Amino acid sequence: MSAVRREDQGGEAGRRWVLAAAVLGTMVTSVDAAVVPVALPRIGMELPAGALGTFGTFEGQAYVYHAYLLALNALLVLAGALGDYFGRRRVFGLGLAAFAVATLLSAFAPALEVLVICRALQWPRRP
């Protein structure tokens, strides 16, 4: 007799919800990665660069885009391990909530340096 994982139970309806959640997570990640490069010129004009003396406008725009990708690539394996340990559904839900909070923080960032930090916090936490 094979052991059936609790997450695998639920039949066809459960599989549809899993597919919908996977599509939602992928869509959020893709839209976020595609929209930011379009908005970078406006971000550079609107947000003060070097408010903390860290970098200029051009460098700040590069960091805004790459902070997200760097955090995503560096921590994706960790997110998978956390999903295996704590349960994929729980980690996925917490990841989406954390992504939403980091997105709100990004929307109200007063300077490029703060935006870079918020973008790094946005890495998708999905296994």
Which range in 21-25, 44-48, 60-64, 79-83 is most confidently predicted, on average pLDDT? 79-83
Looking at beta carbons, which pairs linking 89-93 to residues 24 or more positions away fall under 8 Å? 89/7, 91/125, 91/126, 91/127, 92/21, 92/25, 92/125, 92/126, 92/127
> How many CB atoms lie under 10 A from the CB of residue 103?
15
Alpha helices of the chain — where are they, by DSSP H? Answer: 11-46, 57-86, 88-107, 112-121
At residue 108, does pLDDT exceed 80? yes
Total domains, the chain: 1
- Distance CA(54)–CA(64), nearest Å, equals 13
Assigned domain for 24 exists: no
State the average pLDDT for the chain.
Answer: 78
CB 60 within 8 A of CB 49: yes
Average pLDDT over residues 81-93: 88
In a domain, 25, yes or no: no
Q: What integer is the mean pLDDT of 81-98?
A: 87
Cα 75 → chain centroid: 11
Q: Is the per-residue pLDDT at 7 higher than 80?
A: no
In a domain, 58, yes or no: yes
> Distance between CA atoms of 36 and 21, rounded to whole angstroms?
23
In 3D space, the residue among 8, 28, 26 whose CA is nearest the CA of residue 89 turns out to be 8
Mean pLDDT over 47-53 rounds to: 66
- Let me know if residue 84 belongs to a domain: yes
Asked whether residue 6 is domain-assigned, the answer is: no
Tell me if 14 is assigned to some domain.
no
Q: What is the pLDDT confidence band of residue 86, given thresholds at 50, 70 and 90?
A: very high
Sign of the C-alpha dihedral, residues 8, 12, 15, 17?
Answer: negative
Q: What pLDDT digit, counting tens, does each position of 60-82 carry?
A: 788 888 887 887 778 788 888 99
Domain that holds residue 82: 30-121
Please compute the mean of the pLDDT values over residues 47-56 and round it to a whole number: 66
Residue 35 pLDDT level (bands cut at 50, 70, 90): confident
Indicate whether 2 belongs to any domain.
Answer: no
Is residue 48 one of the residues assigned to a domain? yes
In this prediction, residues 40-66 reach a mean pLDDT of: 75
pLDDT at 127 over 50: no
